[in-house]
A and B are shown apart, each in its own frame.
Chain A
Amino acid sequence: MTLPNRLEIKNLSLSRGGRQLLRDLSFSLNPGEWLHLQGDNGIGKTSLLRVICSLAPLDEGEVLWRGQNIHEDLPLYLKDIFFVGHKLALKEELTAFENLAIECALMGVPAKDLDLKQALDHFGLKGREHVPLGILSQGQKRRVALAKLKLARAPLWVLDEPLVALDSHTVELFTQLLGQHLTSAGMVILTSHQPIQLSGLGRVLMLSR
């Protein structure tokens, strides 16, 4: 029997470079819920996201997905998460279209050209699909990175500062997309220094020393 999607952080403690960042942190996330991590720079928001993505080790505690430690069946867990980090993971030499096509192949998502085009259109990149990323602005590059979300099939989205360099219209498009994802029983965990207006069940987790 497959258990329902549920992310659970249990008694997590985390330190970096000999400094304790988080101690005994616990929370959970169910389908349709979002969590906005906030806190000062260097408080451990990105480190926490990296632990959730299995990219970084933790000192104590565990991360559970569907009631199971994520490291017990990592490939299965990785199918269910989608991470957009500080770095955009895009190749400047390639076009937005090519970057998305590669991302789809890596995600194992069968996407047609039209799907890729629509994803880019959603973020206002119509007419810029076949332009090398190197000549796009920072905001436009960020839009290409966020267009990946439109194609992602994973239920859990982990987003590290997704709003950096975005204009207000794109922020609106982005929140719309998050709303759609949450409505379809998706889950979102993100960090941002900007306030985000999201529908659905959500909460802000303020990390402090």
Chain B
Amino acid sequence: MKAFTAILKRDLRVAMHRKVEVLSGLFFYLVVATLFPLAIGSDLDILRRIAPGILWVGALLSSMLTLGRLFEADWQDGSLEQLVLTPHNLSLLVFAKIISHWTLCGLPLVILAPVLGLMFDLPIEFVLVLMGTLLIGTPILSCLGAIASALTLGLRGGGVLISLLVLPLFVPVLVFGSGAVESLAAGLGSQAYFSILMAMLMPAVFFSPWACATALRVAFE
């Protein structure tokens, strides 16, 4: 557990020194969300209808933008080699890295969602549902993205490969994440969408660190 917290703290501390890298995903999310109303116009009915989709697509792309860096820096400076060589469970250490990725790249999107929701004139209950889906959905993106990041480690053009690998996996999260708000707007409630997202989150959290650890060992070989 000490090694787990050490990795978590280390990654967060290092990120504090690499603010540009951390903020680039958030900035991208902001730009995507801001440009759509400018391009589409100020019709509030249309904006309200497309808001969940736009915010979820923004979150998904922003998450993809930052996935390449999940293991890359550790791979470059030799830290990853040391992680593999520790007697601790590698899956647990990888899980610490996934949590730090989500804290730095996923959580800010959740926190920013109300501000952007208001920009699209979303009612407060819709904003809360949107935040809830992002809160459950963005960790799934981090977990699935981490597998792709580990599989493409050290490969030339790894960034493009990550996109190709994760996009099909991200689609269900996107559909159910944005669908929750639309369902609420249609008066059907969003409970089922939350249940499905939770059902996706559980195996993702459970299997992703193990899959990443296996992929990392293969990368070294």
Interface residue? B125 (CB, 8 A): no
The answer for the CA separation of A76 and B84 in the assembled complex, in Å, is 13
Tell me the chain B residues, 1-19 only, with Cβ under 8 Å from chain A. 2-3, 5-7, 9-10, 13-14, 16-18
Q: Which residues of A have CB within 8 Å of B220?
A: 55-56
Which residue of the partner chain A has the closest CB to B6? A105
Given A57-B221, A93-B14, A94-B14, answer yes or no on A107-B78 (Cβ-Cβ < 8 Å).
Answer: no
Tell me whether A78 and B86 are in contact (CB under 8 A).
yes
Which residue of the partner chain B has the closest CB to A83? B85
Q: Which of A27-35, A84-92, A175-183, A198-206 contacts B (4 or more CB under 8 A)?
A: A84-92
Tell me whether B77 and A79 are in contact (CB under 8 A).
no
Interface residue? A106 (CB, 8 A): yes
The answer for the CA separation of A98 and B6 in the assembled complex, in Å, is 10
The answer for the CA separation of A107 and B86 in the assembled complex, in Å, is 6
Return the CB mask of B16-40 against A: 1 if under 8 Å, else 0.
1110000000000000000000000
Tell me whether B221 and A56 are in contact (CB under 8 A).
yes
B2 to chain A, nearest CB (A): 5
Q: Which residues of A have CB within 8 Å of B14?
A: 91, 93-94
Number of interface residues of B (CB under 8 A): 26
The answer for the CA separation of A94 and B77 in the assembled complex, in Å, is 13
Tell me whether B17 and A103 are in contact (CB under 8 A).
no
B25 to chain A, nearest CB (A): 18
Q: Which residues of B have CB within 8 Å of A90?
A: 77-79
Tell me whether B88 and A55 are in contact (CB under 8 A).
no
| Contact partner, B85, options A55, A94, A132, Cβ 8 Å | A55
Interface residue? A12 (CB, 8 A): no
Interface residue? B50 (CB, 8 A): no
The answer for the CA separation of A53 and B85 in the assembled complex, in Å, is 8
Which residue of the partner chain A has the closest CB to B4? A105
Tell me whether A93 and B17 are in contact (CB under 8 A).
yes
Interface residues of B (CB under 8 A from A): 2-3, 5-7, 9-10, 13-14, 16-18, 76-79, 81-88, 220-221
Interface residues of A (CB under 8 A from B): 53-57, 75-76, 78-79, 81, 83, 85-94, 98, 101-103, 105-108, 132
